Amino acid sequence: MAQVIADRRDIDFVLHEQLEVEKFSQKEKYAEFTKKTVDLIINEARNFAVKELLPTQSIGDEEGCKLENGKVSIPQSYYKPYELFNEGEWLAMTEDPQWGGQGMPKAVALAAANYFNGANYSFMMYPGLTHGAGKLVETFGTEKQKELFLKKMYTGKWTGTMLLTEPEAGSDVGALTTTAKKNNDGTYSISGNKIFISAGDHDLVENIIHPVLARIEGAPAGTKGISLFLVPKIWVNDDGSLGEPNDVVCTGIEEKMGIHGNATCSLTLGGKGKCMGTLLGLENKGMSAMFLMMNEARLLVGMQAMSCASSSYLNAVNYARDRIQGSSLTEKTGAGVPIIKHPDIRRQLLTMKSYVEGMRSLLLYIGYLEDMVELSEDLDEKSKYQGIIDILIPISKGYVSDKSFEVCSHGIQIYGGYGFIKEYPQEQLLRDCRITMLYEGTNGIQAMDLLGRKLGMNKGRPMMDLMGEIQQTIAKAKKFDSLQPFAAKLEIALNKLAETAIHLGGLAMSPKIEEAFAAAYPFMDATGDIIMSWMLLWRAVIASDKLEKGPKKKDIAYYNGQLKSAEFFIFCILPIAMGKIETVLTANSAAVKISEDSFGGK
């Protein structure tokens, strides 16, 4: 049975019917990206993903990465696709053509990324992190740094990473011990150890550019004293040629549960006292600079997770149509039927379907908002869009990766015992998906970010703007008789969420701050459920309008499916979110009052 990555009809729906991205072509910046051009881009992305990347998914998982005689090798099957990926100029889809990009809208690029990551996201981490590192150079680099590094990174000739985590400084980045000492020539000598570095070392390209967080000697403690540096694996001379190897050594690669095709490395910087780097941006402003890359990376992680879920769902649907098992509950013929006829299987498939569709809409919507920030000439409008993005980033990473893992678990369940064995793709999708709940800030940190930073941002205006957008969709839904019950339930939930946000925000600024943060995760979870309900209701409004106007025959089943996704989620899953909200409002103190000894385990 052929593995499937993403539903093209659904991607077209989000791009053209929900977000109407072809309207971007009315602006000079995106003039060439008409509907025809967008469709051609998605066609090419799908073809490349299916023909070149998908065959490497299971092979790369089996081969893994190796560290032998000081050199890291990655799956052999990755080399040809990487060359073709760069020839297609896929790495920097949204960036300026001056530096090797295609200059396309971010929403369109994210749709292409759905295919790439669904085909093999271990592979996609090499170009994905390179783009993020390149964005740091583009935004904070000097003209010389841009000239030396940017085009070679955006075209994939060199790759990039992100060096934050240390053995004693994981989530607490401010505790890092890597140091930087300024030299007379303006460079810095870097010394320290970094761990869990995705794509940290490999033989895919001739050079790897490491953005590194370190503390300049004498700088303040904590995050206030952190600076950002560019540290190449091979030193780059002023004329752009490669010099001597820098003192950056891979000391080990991790044996992981999933994403075996990506080299997750431990790196020692300056073990021989000869690691050099150049300051990227301003002294002691490294964390604020790195957040640019981290926000992009968190959206990418959401896409990685959703792409696993999308593949798992479509595989499960096709398997359920073909797998004959058990007899019908209503037709007493005694003959076996495809398992998709069984109510519990249909419940699981509809759960998977509604999550995947809602999550895809959310991620591409964030890309759309980023495009609007670029295109808008009104500063207040820019601020509004950016504020909504800031609220949605922890949801797009934390909530989406949580629910994607659940979808992948359902994907195994549909297959039964076959889902648990390597002959089928479902178990790898589950394993690969699991890391998305951990890296780029564990999902608990995403919940803390939502509560501690995002809710109160700009006096709560971004959260109010987001709720205003949801209210607009509710108002549109009320115009359709069939959607009025959907709209009513979502409106009640939204009002309750607003009450809860105010309550929890106040609690976080009181002596009961620990109780507030103990409730941060269920609050993020409930917020995500309401945002999913919004996305699905938005889809249902469009589908209802199209059904009333008389769609093409081939689209009727798809639009009816949108109505059922919204109905199922709003009537079967959203009520559970209301229960989560009630637990948040109680602010129960058991989790913070229990003594450490009471946990047992000794």
How far apart CA 199 and CA 125 sit, in angstroms, is 7
**Structural domain contains residue 383:** no
Domain boundary residue among 285, 301, 332? 285
Tell me the per-residue pLDDT of 6-45, one tens digit each, with 9 for 90 and over. 999 999 999 999 999 999 999 999 999 999 999 999 999 9
Banded model confidence at residue 455, pLDDT cuts 50, 70, 90: very high
Question: Is 580 in the same domain as 508?
Answer: yes
| Number of domains into which the chain is organized | 3
374 within a domain of the structure (yes/no): no
Q: Residue with structure tokens 């050079």? A: 207
* 560, part of any domain: yes
In tens, the pLDDT along 523-573 reads 999 999 999 999 999 999 999 999 999 999 999 999 999 999 999 999 999
* Residues 117 and 167 both lie in one domain: no
At 140 the three-state DSSP class reads helix
pTM: 0.96
- pLDDT recorded at residue 1: 56
Reported as a pLDDT band with limits 50, 70 and 90, residue 104 is very high
Range from 126-130, 333-337, 485-489 carrying the lowest mean pLDDT = 333-337
| pLDDT for 437 | 97
User: Are 89 and 215 found together in one domain?
Assistant: no
Q: Exactly one of 440, 548, 567, 582 is catalytic; name it.
A: 440
- Given 267, 285, 303, the domain boundary residue is 285
Q: Pick the last residue of a domain from 229, 253, 285.
A: 285
Give residues with Cβ within 8 angstroms of 209, minimum separation 6: 133, 137, 149, 153, 158, 159, 160, 161, 230, 231, 232, 233
Considering the domain boundaries, does residue 424 fall inside one?
no
In this prediction, residue 394 carries a pLDDT of 97
Say if residue 125 is in the same domain as residue 195.
Answer: no
Residue 344 counted as domain residue: no
Q: Which residues pair with 331 in a beta bridge?
A: none
Q: In whole angstroms, what is the distance from residue 27 CA to residue 21 CA?
A: 11
The answer to whether residues 115 and 211 belong to one domain is: no
- Tell me if 114 is assigned to some domain: yes
Query: What proportion of the chain, given as a percentage, has pLDDT over 90?
Result: 91
Q: For residues 201 and 160, give the distance between their C-alpha atoms in angstroms, rounded to a whole number.
A: 10
Q: Judge if 96 and 201 occupy the same domain.
A: no
> Do 583 and 547 reside in the same domain of the chain?
yes
On whether both 18 and 135 belong to a single domain, the answer is yes
435 closest CA partner among 391, 405, 394, 395: 405
**Over residues 354-380, mean pLDDT:** 97
Mean pLDDT for the chain overall: 95
One-letter amino acid at 138 equals: E
Active site residue 83: no
In this structure, what CATH number is given to the domain that contains residue 20? 1.10.540.10
Q: Does 128 share its domain with 238?
A: no
Q: Are residues 125 and 219 in the same domain?
A: no
236: tokens are 């780059």
| Cα torsion through 149, 122, 168, 285, rounded to 10 | 30
17 CB-near residues (< 8 Å, 6+ apart): 542, 546
Q: How far apart are the C-alpha atoms of 466 and 388, rounded to whole Å?
A: 6
Please, what is the end-to-end C-alpha distance for the chain in angstroms? Answer: 49
- Give 334's DSSP letter: -
Under the banding of pLDDT at 50, 70 and 90, the label for residue 295 is confident
State residue 293's pLDDT score.
74
Q: Which CATH number characterizes residue 211's domain?
A: 2.40.110.20
Is the distance from CB of 231 to CB of 269 less than 8 angstroms? yes
Q: What is the pLDDT of residues 122-156, one digit of tens each?
A: 999 999 999 999 999 999 999 999 999 999 999 99
What's the domain range around 248? 159-285
Residue with token string 């009450």: 499
Is residue 394 one of the residues assigned to a domain? no
> Strands 159-160 and 208-216, how do they pair?
parallel
Q: Are 580 and 484 found together in one domain?
A: yes
Q: Rounded CA gap, 30 and 460, in Å?
A: 32
Region 284-299: what's the mean pLDDT?
86
299 is a domain residue: no
Residues 65, 176, single domain; the answer is no
- Whether 157 contacts 89, CB under 8 Å: no
